[in-house]
Chain A
Amino acid sequence: MKAPLLCVHNLTKTFAGYDSPVIRDISFCVYPGEVLTLVGPSGCGKTTTLRTVMGFEQADIGEVKRGEEVLQGGVVFVAPERRKIGFVFQDYALFPHLSVLGNVMFGIRGVPKARKRAIATEVLWMLGLAGLEERRPHDLSGGQQQRVALARAIAPGSRIVLLDEPFSSLDPDTRHTIRGEVRMLAERAKMAVVLVTHDQEEALSTADRLAVMRDGVIEQLGPPEFVYNHPANRFVAQFLGRTNLIDCQASGTMGESPLGKVELERAATGAVTLSLRPEHLELHKPIGGRPSGKVIAREFKGHDMTYHIRIGIGEYLVQTDAACRFNVGDPASISLRTKAAIVDDTEAEPTKRVRLPLA
């Protein structure tokens, strides 16, 4: 595997006047061509993490390395302007007094002006902004401003780009396009991109790897499909999308749940919690050997359908195809399409957290 472009180890930061740290023990690495997404509810410390990596904030302890060079660690603290890292702000922070070209040329240094212009023009062209060079930021649409901000961040040749909530004020279509562009940029230019968002759908769709944060801590880090299907705890399970959290008595790879017998993804003993996403479940007419309940509601979503089923005292969500085979009031029972994921709900024991190896 290639060497990481950016590595962060055990970053911890407490703001002056606060008792508890705003980020604690944050560690991750980012590789060339990779998009790492930090996702979490607002106030979870994801932006602070990004600002600390950039050097806008100074961490109390921990280390930041660009390749082999230490940017922060021990007595070393490299000023933001010497870190060779690009940064894109949530509200873009384009210089209102400069033209688009002026903004993009701003950070290019050490070359003659003509060369700067050539580089900036090329970057603008690459991001589909050709022809807008002389415009002022306030004459641009939100998507264009976003692209200029991105162009400005990469124009100096930084191979690492940090994006703070970059798509939050864009309309869904533009958001979709630019997301794709960021991914493409990362792959083509072999850049390392760290992206912060509070939107789980955005996180899942943009990330090569995903770090779910809560209260200043990374709860789980891994490829999005893994984290989605095998959440480490209730929080991660619920944050990334709708799920059924089901109590279960496990013995070995089988468990006894209110839905009936279920097959577990790994062996366990005693009371455990399962995370079963609606699409992991299947709806049947009542069949023998499985508890049955009643359809209490259904949501038609065009390409699929979600049923609310009451079995006993519990209510469960099941996603099916778009054909309406059940009506409200119909009896039904539920089976599993896959093995059930066990959610480690003992947050007091962080050692049990599922973590993929860093490198």
Chain B
Amino acid sequence: MVCAVAVLLPLGYLVVRSLGADAGEVGRVIFRRQSLTQLTNTLLLCVAVVGVTTLTALPAAWLTSRTDLPMKRVFALALVMPLAIPGYLMAYALLSLGGDYGSAFHLTGVSIPRLNGFTGSLVALSIYNFPYMLLNLRSGLASYDTSLEEVARSLGHRPARVFFSVVMPQLWPSILAGGLLVSLHVVSDFGVVSLMRYETFSYALYQAYQGAHGTRGAAPIALLMMALAGVFIVAELLLLRRVILTRAGAGQARVRRPLRLRAWKMPSMLFVGLLLLIGLAVPIFTIMYGAWGTALGSQWRSVRTAVLDSLSVSAAAAVAATLLALPIAYMARRYPSRLSLSLERLGFLGYATPPLAFALGLLVVTLGVVPGLYQTTFVLIYAYSLHFLAEAVGPIRAGLFSANPKLEEASRALGVGPVSTFLRVTLPLIRPGMIVSLSLVFLSVMKELPLTMLLAPPGFETLSMNIWQYTEEAMYASAAPYALVVLGVSAMFVGVLVFNERGAA
């Protein structure tokens, strides 16, 4: 309940701001001719990015979890790595690759076309969102029932048909969950679409905030974006309802034998390698290219401070978000009611609230209610944990799906009370899910910019703030060390993420 209020606060702020503007102005902002273009562009991009990530992540997830692909753990780790790269950095990397003076030209003497507009946004956002889809699909593949696959084979279906008639339906919940996350990212992304010069709602919102020294014009656009996100959130819920989720089966799941790829081994390796080249090698290459010849030593002190600042809020926010998510996911899973499910959905709404609007709303509320906490890391952590709540709820909820409620009853029957049962049975069972939650929120906070910029106390500088500041001033060499540190620290946590997947499986 407290969470609900907390998530709704910024929303309330937006509504108040919109009402504060006169109706004529709101109407003018919403019913402009650009609005339709922006809506179409946003939707087009959402569909395309969800499509591309699904089509690439599906085979990648399958290859790295169900087959005998060589070094598949390493591949899985590497494929999730783009998670550590902020979207705007990804867009920047892709941009600097092409064109007459791009890094590709410098290296090979051949100028490749520069990505921009729809294609550029699609490529950058797809790479950026690919890991989210991959993680969802991998967990889906880990928990699904392979015996159904075998049943279908025994009924004379060819493998390809088995995939579409049996595997796909079981993966629907994962695809839906991943798709929702991805489309929310696309709706709210600003960094990529602005650099790629593709006009979506978030672009319009940025413009509105950029210029106006007041937020009148921005609030209606923010509300419009949230309405769009709301549609996605409800749609996912409705689609999910039609999917049969539960797996009936006695005893413990069987250990599965990986599928043999045989002649397909090389093409599969090539496919995964290509994904890695685009998603990981290109951005890292660009950053290293920028860092060439930088005297890292001179920046060492500043980098160290930024690392500490980043780590302290990221870790704290990860813990806070996970602790908040725990009761929400638990209630929604064990005591599904309209209230508990709405609470869970509210988490997604917090996710979908444009961060700038979220930050401003929180700023106003903090000043009004607890001015003493204004511009402390507490408010910052609070903002992060609410904004990224949805990322924390998802994996815990998935963990609860696989943790049989009978186990809790068994514990009660053994004379253990509800609280101890939660601590002794439920918690250990969902621990892998919780670690995924921790890591996801941690990574998101590491990359986060708009909330940090507005709510950070003076003197507090995260790594991503530094990256942004230097790239903004065209000082790419100075930005590179920070970017490399973000990558390094994030890689550690991505490692935790992937290694824990096995525990969860």
Q: Do chains A and B touch in the complex (CB under 8 A)?
A: yes
**Interface residues of A, Cβ cutoff 8 Å to B:** 54-56, 79-87, 89-97, 106-107, 109, 137-138, 142, 145, 152-153, 156, 168-169
- Cα–Cα distance between A90 and B407 once the two chains are bound (Å): 12
- Cα–Cα distance between A24 and B81 once the two chains are bound (Å): 58
Which B residues touch A142, using CB under 8 A? 250-251
- With contacts A137-B252, A138-B252, A169-B251 taken as known, whether A91 is within 8 angstroms of B404 at the C-beta atoms is yes
- Cα–Cα distance between A81 and B414 once the two chains are bound (Å): 6
A91 & B250 in contact (Cβ 8 Å cutoff): yes
B406 & A89 in contact (Cβ 8 Å cutoff): yes
A81 & B413 in contact (Cβ 8 Å cutoff): yes
A156 & B425 in contact (Cβ 8 Å cutoff): no
Which A residues touch B73, using CB under 8 A? none
Task: Give B29-56 as 1s and 0s: 1 = Cβ < 8 Å from A's Cβ atoms.
Answer: 0000000000000000000000000000
A79 & B414 in contact (Cβ 8 Å cutoff): no
B251 & A86 in contact (Cβ 8 Å cutoff): no
Most chain A beta-carbon contacts within 10 A, residue among B252, B417, B428, B429 = B252
B415 & A84 in contact (Cβ 8 Å cutoff): yes
- With contacts A138-B252, A145-B251, A169-B251 taken as known, whether A89 is within 8 angstroms of B410 at the C-beta atoms is yes
Instruction: For residue B340, give the distance in angstroms from its CB to the closest CB of chain A.
Output: 15
Which A residues touch B410, using CB under 8 A? 87, 89, 93-95, 152
Which A residues touch B250, using CB under 8 A? 90-92, 142, 168-169
Which residue of A is nearest B429, CB measured? A97
| B161 at interface by CB-CB < 8 Å | no
Within the complex, which residue of A79, A84, A109, A138 is in contact with B412, where a contact is CB–CB below 8 Å?
Answer: A79
13 more contacts with CB within 8 A, not counting A79-B412, A93-B406, A145-B252, are: A54-B409, A56-B412, A80-B412, A84-B415, A86-B414, A90-B250, A93-B409, A96-B429, A97-B429, A106-B414, A106-B424, A137-B252, A156-B414
| B411 at interface by CB-CB < 8 Å | yes
- Cα–Cα distance between A97 and B410 once the two chains are bound (Å): 14
Which residue of A is nearest B427, CB measured? A97
| B367 at interface by CB-CB < 8 Å | no
B404 & A107 in contact (Cβ 8 Å cutoff): no
- Cα–Cα distance between A80 and B249 once the two chains are bound (Å): 25
| B416 at interface by CB-CB < 8 Å | yes
Within the complex, which residue of B251, B252, B406, B413 is in contact with A85, where a contact is CB–CB below 8 Å?
Answer: B413
Instruction: For residue B396, give the distance in angstroms from its CB to the closest CB of chain A.
Output: 16
Instruction: For residue B411, give the distance in angstroms from its CB to the closest CB of chain A.
Output: 7
- With contacts A137-B252, A169-B250 taken as known, whether A93 is within 8 angstroms of B415 at the C-beta atoms is no
Which A residues touch B249, using CB under 8 A? 91
Which B residues touch A90, using CB under 8 A? 250
A-B CB proximity, top 3 nearest: A107-B414, A87-B413, A138-B252
Task: Give B396-407 as 1s and 0s: 1 = Cβ < 8 Å from A's Cβ atoms.
Answer: 000000001011
Instruction: For residue A76, give the distance in angstroms from its CB to the closest CB of chain B.
Output: 17
Pairs across A and B, CB under 8 Å, 7 listed: A81-B421, A91-B250, A93-B409, A138-B252, A142-B251, A152-B410, A169-B251
Which residue of A is nearest B404, CB measured? A93
Instruction: For residue B476, give the distance in angstroms from its CB to the closest CB of chain A.
Output: 48
B412 & A81 in contact (Cβ 8 Å cutoff): yes
- Cα–Cα distance between A79 and B417 once the two chains are bound (Å): 8
B409 & A107 in contact (Cβ 8 Å cutoff): no
B411 & A153 in contact (Cβ 8 Å cutoff): no
Within the complex, which residue of A86, A95, A153 is in contact with B407, where a contact is CB–CB below 8 Å?
Answer: A95
- Cα–Cα distance between A102 and B249 once the two chains are bound (Å): 24
- Cα–Cα distance between A324 and B447 once the two chains are bound (Å): 85
Which A residues touch B406, using CB under 8 A? 89, 91, 93
Which B residues touch A92, using CB under 8 A? 250-251
- Cα–Cα distance between A90 and B409 once the two chains are bound (Å): 12
B416 & A106 in contact (Cβ 8 Å cutoff): yes
B412 & A91 in contact (Cβ 8 Å cutoff): no
- With contacts A81-B417, A96-B429, A97-B429 taken as known, whether A89 is within 8 angstroms of B409 at the C-beta atoms is yes
A80 & B409 in contact (Cβ 8 Å cutoff): yes
Which B residues touch A56, using CB under 8 A? 409, 412-413
A107 & B416 in contact (Cβ 8 Å cutoff): yes
B415 & A109 in contact (Cβ 8 Å cutoff): yes
Instruction: For residue A93, give the distance in angstroms from its CB to the closest CB of chain B.
Output: 4
Instruction: For residue B373, give the distance in angstroms from its CB to the closest CB of chain A.
Output: 39
- Cα–Cα distance between A97 and B251 once the two chains are bound (Å): 14
Which A residues touch B255, using CB under 8 A? 138
A152 & B417 in contact (Cβ 8 Å cutoff): no
A97 & B428 in contact (Cβ 8 Å cutoff): yes
Most chain B beta-carbon contacts within 10 A, residue among A84, A95, A137, A168 = A95
B252 & A87 in contact (Cβ 8 Å cutoff): no
Instruction: For residue A155, give the distance in angstroms from its CB to the closest CB of chain B.
Output: 8
- Cα–Cα distance between A153 and B413 once the two chains are bound (Å): 8
Which residue of A is nearest B410, CB measured? A93
Which A residues touch B416, using CB under 8 A? 81, 106-107, 109
Which A residues touch B418, using CB under 8 A? 79, 81
- Cα–Cα distance between A87 and B406 once the two chains are bound (Å): 11
- Cα–Cα distance between A168 and B249 once the two chains are bound (Å): 12
Instruction: For residue B434, give the distance in angstroms from its CB to the closest CB of chain A.
Output: 13
Within the complex, which residue of B409, B424, B429 is in contact with A87, where a contact is CB–CB below 8 Å?
Answer: B409
Instruction: For residue A343, give the distance in angstroms from its CB to the closest CB of chain B.
Output: 36
B413 & A96 in contact (Cβ 8 Å cutoff): no
Most chain A beta-carbon contacts within 10 A, residue among B250, B406, B413, B418 = B413
B424 & A80 in contact (Cβ 8 Å cutoff): no
- With contacts A97-B428, A142-B251, A169-B250 taken as known, whether A106 is within 8 angstroms of B411 at the C-beta atoms is yes
Task: Give B406-446 as 1s and 0s: 1 = Cβ < 8 Å from A's Cβ atoms.
Answer: 11011111111110010011001100000000000000000
- Cα–Cα distance between A95 and B409 once the two chains are bound (Å): 11
- Cα–Cα distance between A153 and B424 once the two chains are bound (Å): 17
Which B residues touch A153, using CB under 8 A? 413-414
Which residue of A is nearest B409, CB measured? A56
B429 & A86 in contact (Cβ 8 Å cutoff): no
B415 & A156 in contact (Cβ 8 Å cutoff): yes
Instruction: For residue B415, give the distance in angstroms from its CB to the closest CB of chain A.
Output: 5
Which residue of A is nearest B252, CB measured? A138
A93 & B414 in contact (Cβ 8 Å cutoff): no
